[in-house]
Structure 1
Amino acid sequence: MTHDGTGVTVPEPGMAVTIDTLTTDGESHGFTLQVGTDGKVSYGLKDTAVDASTDGYDRPGSASPDPATDVPAEPDTVVDPIDTAEGAEVADVDAAAAPSACSDGAYSTKDQKEYGTYNWYVGDGGMPGGLSRDDATWAFMDAINNITDSHNNCGYSDSVGAKENYPANTSREASINSSNRCTGRDELSVWDGGDLKSGVVASTCSYTWAMPGVKNDLREADVRFNTHDYDVTNKPTSSCSNKYDIRSVGTHEAGHVFGLGHVGSGHSNLTMYTNSFTCKTIARTLGKGDVLALRSIYEEEHNEPVGANHASVSRGSHDDAGCGLHIREQQ
């Protein structure tokens, strides 16, 4: 099935598949298709352009935080990691017109949650920006940890229980093709680079088990950067020109993996804004709405202390995964 420049392969009964895209036009593209246990197919096309213009927008199945008791006061000075790189003027104007990251409580969430540990692999496709596999792995890991650790400059503590684990490389590739379609579930969550449709910077394909009454259970999520049409950099500098920051894009995509949706016009200082600006690192650091969205999904009582190792909990056998176990201890 295709819609609005994106597509999915219909999954097996009891499963849902969601495609989310980060585009150069700043529009939200993507949708969810679910197959009931009786084989009935349903899809939520109306949810593809949600713009959370007020504080929060949540799907059923998660509790909302109490702003009176759970939100720290906005600091007198908010330091956002915004580069003054060449070619970023449009981003500066847009960001200046929007609320600061630490005062904007807008968010949306999907019908999706990682109840256990998100085990992810670095694939066999090309790496963004021509990075080595090792350098790309560290960049991906930092991006994912920005989400699981609630990395922010707003004074919010990490009360999000989301977990991740990187076991190894794999010979497989992310199951997303050049037509920007999720091609099917192979029980392995893979991050890599490859050819996507022009106008798409990166895409995430997520597969979930239907969970009536609560958010669907994440089973697999692939992420692919568009290395055919766009270039990325690992470290934007003053000489940066027309390159996307790999960690900013990766943090945005990791937000989708862990159940966050897009916010649109007027919220450009948030990580989950529909657009990603070249030569900018602001999306590496979560804003108020991004943190509240994560808190609305992941309950505090399920947290492990920051710094604890997250052991791998595999949901299947992956004989073709690369050798060696590389578990990063969170800092």
Structure 2
Amino acid sequence: MLTNKRGYNLRFGRAIMAFALAASLSAVVGSTNPASAAPDVCELTEEELTVYDLPAGSSVIQCDAVGRVVTYDGTGVTVPSPGTAVSVDSITADGESHGFMMEVDTNGIVSYDLTEAESADSSVAGSDAADSLTPTTTTGDVTLEADNAEADASDSSEGAEVAEVDAAASPGACSDGTYATKGLKEYGTYNWYIGDGGLPAGMSHDDAIWVFYDAVAAIAESYNNCGYSDQVDMNYPNYMAKTSFEADINTSSQCTDRDGLSTWDGGNLKDDVYATTCTWSWPAPGVKNDLREADVRFNTHDFDFTNKVTSSCSNKVDVRSVGTHEAGHVFGLKDIYGSHGNLTMYGYSIECSTRARTLGKGDVLGLRSIY
């Protein structure tokens, strides 16, 4: 046995030092990287959690985290039951990225997609599974507010100016092939509803059917002015009915528990958010997740929307442009930033612009890569 002059066991001492060093390195990594291995013991706070409090590798069962809110970069999701993924995407006045996906596998282990990488994903094979969830009223739904002439005007002129500059400096919509995709696909048919409360642009329910229908159809049919044919092989989305259910999105633009209905509506979101989309899906090994529900809410509390953009438009947001962008999230597309301002999935929403109603090359290629 090796000892020093004081009789200390050097081998044992080195083992202790190695263990301590490994533990300290693990703590450092875990504190800066939510994709690191989770600690053996859960010490969750009573407040909202962050992705660092519940890092990848954590067990939602062991940590008793199902139903808790986990936040990242200005938004959040409610931790779903094992075997479910949830993603949130918000389009904002300042163009900041607010969105991520949290997946909980069947064993309760957490993983995240926090990236905004502009890259393709060719994993498209899979099949639709039956959903046994019976729609029920979600606890704590947000009370909807009618959109009217007294709705707050947008104070986002600076963000709009930045977006216009980006669009002017970007390649044309038909020459920019950039896109990014989620690990998400609708293998079956997207059946969607419209809430019975206030709607953007002061639309009636009947008007909203056609406006939202056009937005969803633009994605489903690859609607573009570039001459690209419709090669997106998805079942055509199906409008169902008006519903008293609400989008499962709260005033902090966070995804709450899903209620089983894919609802489009208007209401109160964070004051810089035009609209938020939440999707819930079932993971399957080796293929994109199977979409189960996707809710969309427009912020009628803080912004004025319009469906008729005119030359005199000021401080208004085109409801169809935002709707088409959000429908892109529903069917698996991510936001694009930088010099791609003429694409529908560009992260800024430009006020008084209808540009995003029509898909660009990258938007079409992104959908083709999924479907």
| Structure 2: segments with no counterpart, 5+ residues | 1-69, 126-156
Is the CA contact (8 Å cut-off) linking 1:60 and 1:213 kept in structure 2? no
Q: What is the RMSD of the two structures over their aligned residues, measured on CA atoms?
A: 1.4
Deviations along 1:44-79, whole A, 9 cap, x unmatched? 22x1x33x2xxxx1235139xxxxxxxxxxxxxxxx
Aligned 1:13-28 pairs, distance under 5 A: 13-28=82-97
Match of residue 247 from structure 1 = 320
Are 1:233 and 2:295 an aligned pair? no
For the residue of structure 2 that corresponds to 1:144, the secondary structure is: helix
State the AA in 2 paired with 1:20.
D
One-letter amino acid of the counterpart of residue 100, structure 2: F
Does 2:243 correspond to 1:181?
no
Q: Is the 8 A contact 1:60 1:215 kept in 2?
A: no
Instruction: Give the aligned residue type for 1:11.
Output: P
1:218-258 Cα distance to aligned partner (Å, 9 max, x none): 00000000001111101100111111101000000000000
TM-score (norm 2): 0.70
Q: CA deviation at 1:167?
A: 1.3
Deviations along 1:296-323, whole A, 9 cap, x unmatched?
Answer: 011xxxxxxxxxxxxxxxxxxxxxxxxx
| Structure 1 match to 2:123 | 61
**TM-score (norm. length: structure 1):** 0.79
For 1:164, give the aligned amino acid: P
Q: Displacement of 1:211 after TM fit?
A: 1.2
Alpha-carbon distance between aligned partners in 2 of 1:265 and 1:92, rounded to the nearest angstrom: 12
- 1:127 equivalenced with 2:189 (yes/no): no
Match among 291, 294, 298 for residue 364 of structure 2: 291
Alpha-carbon separation, structure 1, partners of 2:265 and 2:83:
27
Check whether the contact 1:60–1:214 (CA below 8 A) recurs between aligned residues.
no
Structure 1: tracts of 5 or more residues without a match: 64-86, 299-331
Task: Specify the SS of the correspondent of 1:96.
Answer: helix
Aligned positions of 1:1-331 closer than 5 A: 1-45=70-114, 47=115, 49-50=116-117, 52=118, 57-59=119-121, 61-62=123-124, 91-162=163-234, 163-298=236-371
Partner of 2:49: none
| Superposition misfits of 4+ residues, deviation over 6 angstroms | none
Q: Which has the higher contact order (CA 8 A, sep 6+)?
A: 1
Amino acid in the other structure paired with 2:124: S
Shift of the alpha carbon at 1:139? Answer: 0.6
